Structure 1
Amino acid sequence: MIDPSKAVRGAWAAAAIGLALSLASCGVEEANKGMSNMTLEEAKTKLLALQHQIIDMVPEELVVSVFENDSSSLLSCQGDKKKWTGTGQVELQPGLDRDKFLDQVRDRTKGMQGWTVKDDSDSDGARTVDILHDDGTHLIVGIWDGPESVQIDGFSACFDLPDYEYGEKY
Protein backbone atom coordinates (compact mmCIF):
# COMPACT_ATOMS: atom_id res chain seq x y z
CA MET A 1 0.00 0.00 0.00
CA ILE A 2 1.29 3.45 -0.86
CA ASP A 3 1.74 5.85 2.06
CA PRO A 4 0.30 9.16 0.70
CA SER A 5 2.77 11.37 2.59
CA LYS A 6 5.71 9.41 1.24
CA ALA A 7 4.22 9.40 -2.25
CA VAL A 8 3.88 13.20 -2.20
CA ARG A 9 7.42 13.62 -0.90
CA GLY A 10 8.64 11.19 -3.52
CA ALA A 11 6.69 12.96 -6.22
CA TRP A 12 8.24 16.34 -5.38
CA ALA A 13 11.72 14.86 -5.25
CA ALA A 14 11.12 12.97 -8.47
CA ALA A 15 9.80 16.10 -10.18
CA ALA A 16 12.91 18.06 -9.22
CA ILE A 17 15.24 15.30 -10.39
CA GLY A 18 13.13 14.74 -13.49
CA LEU A 19 13.38 18.39 -14.46
CA ALA A 20 17.14 18.39 -13.98
CA LEU A 21 17.54 15.17 -15.91
CA SER A 22 15.25 16.34 -18.70
CA LEU A 23 17.34 19.44 -19.15
CA ALA A 24 20.45 17.28 -19.21
CA SER A 25 18.83 14.80 -21.59
CA CYS A 26 18.22 17.48 -24.21
CA GLY A 27 21.83 17.26 -25.34
CA VAL A 28 22.04 13.48 -25.43
CA GLU A 29 22.25 11.54 -28.68
CA GLU A 30 18.48 11.25 -28.60
CA ALA A 31 18.29 14.74 -30.08
CA ASN A 32 18.83 13.10 -33.44
CA LYS A 33 16.42 10.28 -32.71
CA GLY A 34 12.72 9.95 -32.13
CA MET A 35 11.74 10.88 -35.66
CA SER A 36 9.20 8.07 -35.77
CA ASN A 37 5.46 8.41 -36.14
CA MET A 38 4.92 7.33 -32.55
CA THR A 39 1.81 8.56 -30.74
CA LEU A 40 1.63 9.85 -27.18
CA GLU A 41 0.03 6.60 -25.99
CA GLU A 42 2.61 4.42 -27.74
CA ALA A 43 5.49 6.48 -26.34
CA LYS A 44 4.07 6.47 -22.81
CA THR A 45 3.24 2.74 -22.93
CA LYS A 46 6.76 1.83 -24.08
CA LEU A 47 8.39 3.83 -21.29
CA LEU A 48 6.04 2.49 -18.60
CA ALA A 49 6.47 -1.12 -19.76
CA LEU A 50 10.22 -1.04 -19.14
CA GLN A 51 9.74 0.92 -15.92
CA HIS A 52 7.34 -1.80 -14.66
CA GLN A 53 9.87 -4.51 -15.57
CA ILE A 54 12.54 -2.76 -13.52
CA ILE A 55 10.22 -2.26 -10.55
CA ASP A 56 9.30 -5.95 -10.70
CA MET A 57 13.02 -6.79 -10.31
CA VAL A 58 13.06 -5.37 -6.78
CA PRO A 59 12.78 -8.23 -4.26
CA GLU A 60 9.22 -8.13 -2.93
CA GLU A 61 10.31 -8.56 0.69
CA LEU A 62 12.29 -5.29 0.51
CA VAL A 63 9.46 -3.14 -0.90
CA VAL A 64 7.98 -0.59 1.51
CA SER A 65 6.00 1.36 -1.08
CA VAL A 66 5.82 1.99 -4.82
CA PHE A 67 5.12 5.31 -6.53
CA GLU A 68 4.59 5.68 -10.27
CA ASN A 69 3.16 8.72 -11.97
CA ASP A 70 0.60 7.87 -14.62
CA SER A 71 0.13 11.41 -15.88
CA SER A 72 2.60 14.15 -16.59
CA SER A 73 3.02 17.43 -18.37
CA LEU A 74 4.97 17.18 -21.60
CA LEU A 75 8.38 18.55 -22.45
CA SER A 76 9.38 20.15 -25.73
CA CYS A 77 11.36 17.96 -28.06
CA GLN A 78 12.67 18.69 -31.54
CA GLY A 79 10.65 21.60 -32.83
CA ASP A 80 6.95 21.12 -32.21
CA LYS A 81 7.28 17.53 -31.01
CA LYS A 82 6.77 16.59 -27.35
CA LYS A 83 7.93 13.88 -24.96
CA TRP A 84 6.28 12.35 -21.90
CA THR A 85 8.22 12.09 -18.64
CA GLY A 86 7.69 9.43 -16.04
CA THR A 87 8.99 8.51 -12.63
CA GLY A 88 8.97 5.28 -10.72
CA GLN A 89 10.16 5.03 -7.14
CA VAL A 90 10.35 1.99 -4.88
CA GLU A 91 11.02 2.78 -1.23
CA LEU A 92 13.06 -0.02 0.29
CA GLN A 93 13.70 -1.72 3.58
CA PRO A 94 17.41 -2.19 4.30
CA GLY A 95 19.10 -5.09 2.55
CA LEU A 96 19.26 -4.36 -1.19
CA ASP A 97 22.66 -5.11 -2.70
CA ARG A 98 22.80 -1.93 -4.80
CA ASP A 99 25.52 -2.99 -7.22
CA LYS A 100 23.99 -6.42 -7.76
CA PHE A 101 20.57 -4.86 -8.44
CA LEU A 102 21.97 -2.28 -10.89
CA ASP A 103 24.02 -5.04 -12.56
CA GLN A 104 20.79 -7.02 -13.04
CA VAL A 105 19.01 -3.99 -14.53
CA ARG A 106 21.93 -3.37 -16.89
CA ASP A 107 22.34 -7.00 -17.90
CA ARG A 108 18.62 -7.65 -18.44
CA THR A 109 18.08 -4.61 -20.66
CA LYS A 110 21.32 -4.62 -22.66
CA GLY A 111 20.22 -7.69 -24.60
CA MET A 112 16.92 -6.17 -25.67
CA GLN A 113 16.75 -5.15 -29.34
CA GLY A 114 17.22 -1.44 -29.97
CA TRP A 115 18.41 -0.61 -26.44
CA THR A 116 21.84 0.73 -25.49
CA VAL A 117 22.74 0.39 -21.82
CA LYS A 118 25.69 1.80 -19.91
CA ASP A 119 26.81 2.40 -16.37
CA ASP A 120 26.89 6.07 -15.45
CA SER A 121 26.71 8.25 -12.35
CA ASP A 122 24.52 11.05 -11.07
CA SER A 123 25.66 14.53 -10.05
CA ASP A 124 26.63 13.20 -6.59
CA GLY A 125 28.78 10.46 -8.10
CA ALA A 126 26.36 7.63 -7.23
CA ARG A 127 26.10 4.84 -9.78
CA THR A 128 23.22 4.84 -12.25
CA VAL A 129 22.27 2.74 -15.25
CA ASP A 130 21.48 4.73 -18.39
CA ILE A 131 19.09 2.98 -20.81
CA LEU A 132 18.49 4.52 -24.25
CA HIS A 133 16.41 3.16 -27.12
CA ASP A 134 17.06 3.88 -30.79
CA ASP A 135 13.79 5.86 -30.90
CA GLY A 136 14.89 8.19 -28.06
CA THR A 137 13.08 6.52 -25.14
CA HIS A 138 15.42 7.09 -22.18
CA LEU A 139 15.41 5.72 -18.62
CA ILE A 140 17.89 6.41 -15.82
CA VAL A 141 17.92 3.99 -12.88
CA GLY A 142 19.64 4.75 -9.60
CA ILE A 143 19.32 4.21 -5.87
CA TRP A 144 18.69 7.08 -3.48
CA ASP A 145 19.44 7.43 0.21
CA GLY A 146 17.04 8.83 2.82
CA PRO A 147 14.79 6.91 2.49
CA GLU A 148 16.59 4.27 0.46
CA SER A 149 14.73 3.98 -2.85
CA VAL A 150 15.15 2.67 -6.37
CA GLN A 151 14.58 5.71 -8.58
CA ILE A 152 13.63 5.47 -12.27
CA ASP A 153 13.39 8.65 -14.32
CA GLY A 154 12.13 8.24 -17.87
CA PHE A 155 11.64 10.27 -21.02
CA SER A 156 9.63 8.95 -23.94
CA ALA A 157 10.50 9.12 -27.60
CA CYS A 158 9.37 12.32 -29.31
CA PHE A 159 5.89 12.41 -30.83
CA ASP A 160 3.54 14.88 -32.49
CA LEU A 161 0.82 16.47 -30.38
CA PRO A 162 -0.10 19.72 -32.15
CA ASP A 163 -3.00 20.65 -29.85
CA TYR A 164 -0.94 20.51 -26.63
CA GLU A 165 -1.58 23.33 -24.18
CA TYR A 166 1.32 23.98 -21.79
CA GLY A 167 0.60 22.45 -18.38
CA GLU A 168 -1.90 19.84 -19.56
CA LYS A 169 -1.21 16.39 -18.18
CA TYR A 170 -1.42 13.15 -20.09
Structure 2
Amino acid sequence: MKTVYDFTVKKTNGDTESLRDYEGKPLLIVNTASKCGLTPQFKGLQEMYDEYKEQGLEILGFPCGQFNNQEFDNIEETTEFCQLNYGVSFPMFAKIDVNGAKADPLFAFLKEQKGGVLTKDIKWNFTKFLVDRKGQVVKRYAPTTEPEKIKSDLDNLL
Protein backbone atom coordinates (compact mmCIF):
# COMPACT_ATOMS: atom_id res chain seq x y z
CA MET A 1 0.00 0.00 0.00
CA LYS A 2 1.35 3.39 -1.00
CA THR A 3 1.96 6.02 1.71
CA VAL A 4 3.22 9.60 1.79
CA TYR A 5 6.60 8.13 2.71
CA ASP A 6 6.93 6.86 -0.86
CA PHE A 7 7.39 10.41 -2.17
CA THR A 8 10.37 12.68 -2.61
CA VAL A 9 9.90 16.44 -2.51
CA LYS A 10 12.06 19.38 -3.49
CA LYS A 11 13.50 21.55 -0.73
CA THR A 12 13.81 25.32 -1.06
CA ASN A 13 17.50 24.98 -1.99
CA GLY A 14 16.66 22.64 -4.89
CA ASP A 15 17.84 19.45 -3.16
CA THR A 16 15.39 16.59 -2.78
CA GLU A 17 14.20 15.05 0.46
CA SER A 18 12.47 11.74 0.98
CA LEU A 19 9.34 11.94 3.08
CA ARG A 20 10.60 8.68 4.57
CA ASP A 21 12.59 11.05 6.82
CA TYR A 22 9.27 11.77 8.58
CA GLU A 23 8.23 8.14 9.00
CA GLY A 24 6.45 7.43 12.27
CA LYS A 25 5.38 11.05 12.78
CA PRO A 26 1.95 12.57 12.29
CA LEU A 27 2.05 15.15 9.50
CA LEU A 28 -0.01 18.14 8.52
CA ILE A 29 0.68 18.90 4.86
CA VAL A 30 -0.47 22.32 3.65
CA ASN A 31 -0.39 24.21 0.36
CA THR A 32 0.49 27.75 1.38
CA ALA A 33 0.58 31.25 -0.12
CA SER A 34 2.21 34.41 1.22
CA LYS A 35 -0.16 36.98 -0.30
CA CYS A 36 -3.55 35.42 0.44
CA GLY A 37 -6.37 36.47 2.74
CA LEU A 38 -5.77 33.19 4.59
CA THR A 39 -2.02 33.84 5.06
CA PRO A 40 -2.53 34.72 8.76
CA GLN A 41 -3.12 30.97 9.27
CA PHE A 42 0.68 30.72 9.36
CA LYS A 43 0.41 32.04 12.92
CA GLY A 44 -1.92 29.22 13.99
CA LEU A 45 0.14 26.62 12.14
CA GLN A 46 3.31 27.79 13.89
CA GLU A 47 1.55 27.77 17.29
CA MET A 48 0.37 24.20 16.60
CA TYR A 49 3.88 23.20 15.58
CA ASP A 50 5.35 24.72 18.75
CA GLU A 51 2.78 22.93 20.90
CA TYR A 52 3.04 19.48 19.30
CA LYS A 53 6.51 19.12 17.76
CA GLU A 54 7.89 17.48 20.92
CA GLN A 55 5.19 14.81 20.47
CA GLY A 56 6.36 14.21 16.90
CA LEU A 57 4.15 16.48 14.78
CA GLU A 58 5.67 17.84 11.60
CA ILE A 59 3.96 20.49 9.51
CA LEU A 60 5.12 20.56 5.91
CA GLY A 61 4.42 23.73 3.93
CA PHE A 62 4.30 23.73 0.14
CA PRO A 63 4.05 27.21 -1.41
CA CYS A 64 1.76 27.38 -4.42
CA GLY A 65 0.94 30.24 -6.79
CA GLN A 66 -1.90 28.56 -8.69
CA PHE A 67 -4.65 30.57 -7.00
CA ASN A 68 -4.49 34.17 -8.23
CA ASN A 69 -0.68 33.99 -8.18
CA GLN A 70 -0.61 34.73 -4.44
CA GLU A 71 2.91 33.42 -3.87
CA PHE A 72 6.25 35.09 -4.52
CA ASP A 73 8.13 33.85 -7.58
CA ASN A 74 11.36 33.72 -5.60
CA ILE A 75 11.38 31.02 -2.88
CA GLU A 76 13.82 33.05 -0.76
CA GLU A 77 11.20 35.82 -0.59
CA THR A 78 8.63 33.25 0.51
CA THR A 79 10.74 31.78 3.30
CA GLU A 80 11.90 35.20 4.50
CA PHE A 81 8.30 36.48 4.54
CA CYS A 82 7.11 33.45 6.53
CA GLN A 83 9.93 33.70 9.06
CA LEU A 84 9.80 37.46 9.55
CA ASN A 85 6.02 37.84 9.69
CA TYR A 86 4.94 34.59 11.37
CA GLY A 87 8.08 33.05 12.88
CA VAL A 88 7.64 29.94 10.74
CA SER A 89 10.13 27.28 11.79
CA PHE A 90 8.40 24.19 10.36
CA PRO A 91 9.76 22.87 7.05
CA MET A 92 8.84 24.79 3.93
CA PHE A 93 9.52 23.30 0.52
CA ALA A 94 9.90 24.50 -3.06
CA LYS A 95 6.98 26.18 -4.81
CA ILE A 96 4.75 23.62 -6.55
CA ASP A 97 1.53 23.16 -8.47
CA VAL A 98 -1.20 21.25 -6.64
CA ASN A 99 -3.66 20.87 -9.54
CA GLY A 100 -3.45 20.18 -13.25
CA ALA A 101 -1.03 18.32 -15.46
CA LYS A 102 2.01 19.63 -13.55
CA ALA A 103 0.64 18.86 -10.08
CA ASP A 104 3.28 17.63 -7.67
CA PRO A 105 3.00 13.82 -7.32
CA LEU A 106 2.61 14.11 -3.53
CA PHE A 107 -0.43 16.34 -3.93
CA ALA A 108 -1.87 14.09 -6.64
CA PHE A 109 -1.65 11.26 -4.09
CA LEU A 110 -3.12 13.34 -1.25
CA LYS A 111 -6.09 14.36 -3.40
CA GLU A 112 -6.63 10.76 -4.50
CA GLN A 113 -6.68 9.62 -0.87
CA LYS A 114 -9.05 12.35 0.36
CA GLY A 115 -11.08 14.19 -2.24
CA GLY A 116 -12.81 17.45 -1.56
CA VAL A 117 -16.46 18.37 -1.88
CA LEU A 118 -17.65 17.79 -5.48
CA THR A 119 -14.10 17.42 -6.83
CA LYS A 120 -10.72 16.09 -5.79
CA ASP A 121 -8.99 19.28 -6.93
CA ILE A 122 -7.70 21.70 -4.36
CA LYS A 123 -9.89 24.79 -4.46
CA TRP A 124 -7.65 27.33 -2.70
CA ASN A 125 -4.56 28.02 -0.61
CA PHE A 126 -4.25 26.45 2.84
CA THR A 127 -5.96 23.16 2.09
CA LYS A 128 -4.64 20.83 4.78
CA PHE A 129 -4.10 17.06 4.89
CA LEU A 130 -3.64 15.22 8.19
CA VAL A 131 -1.47 12.11 7.89
CA ASP A 132 -1.12 9.43 10.57
CA ARG A 133 2.11 7.84 11.81
CA LYS A 134 1.79 5.11 9.16
CA GLY A 135 1.77 7.61 6.30
CA GLN A 136 -1.95 7.34 5.56
CA VAL A 137 -4.10 10.39 4.88
CA VAL A 138 -6.80 10.46 7.56
CA LYS A 139 -8.50 13.80 6.91
CA ARG A 140 -8.64 16.73 4.51
CA TYR A 141 -9.52 20.23 5.72
CA ALA A 142 -10.94 23.14 3.79
CA PRO A 143 -8.77 26.23 3.28
CA THR A 144 -10.88 28.18 5.77
CA THR A 145 -10.43 25.60 8.55
CA GLU A 146 -8.34 27.31 11.21
CA PRO A 147 -5.43 25.24 12.56
CA GLU A 148 -6.95 25.29 16.08
CA LYS A 149 -9.92 23.28 14.75
CA ILE A 150 -7.57 20.44 13.78
CA LYS A 151 -6.23 19.85 17.29
CA SER A 152 -8.86 17.30 18.38
CA ASP A 153 -8.13 15.17 15.29
CA LEU A 154 -4.41 15.57 15.88
CA ASP A 155 -4.74 14.53 19.53
CA ASN A 156 -6.14 11.19 18.31
CA LEU A 157 -2.90 10.57 16.37
CA LEU A 158 -0.45 11.49 19.13
Report which of the two structures shows the higher radius of gyration computed on alpha carbons: 1
Larger relative strand fraction? 1
Q: TM-score, normalised by structure 2?
A: 0.27
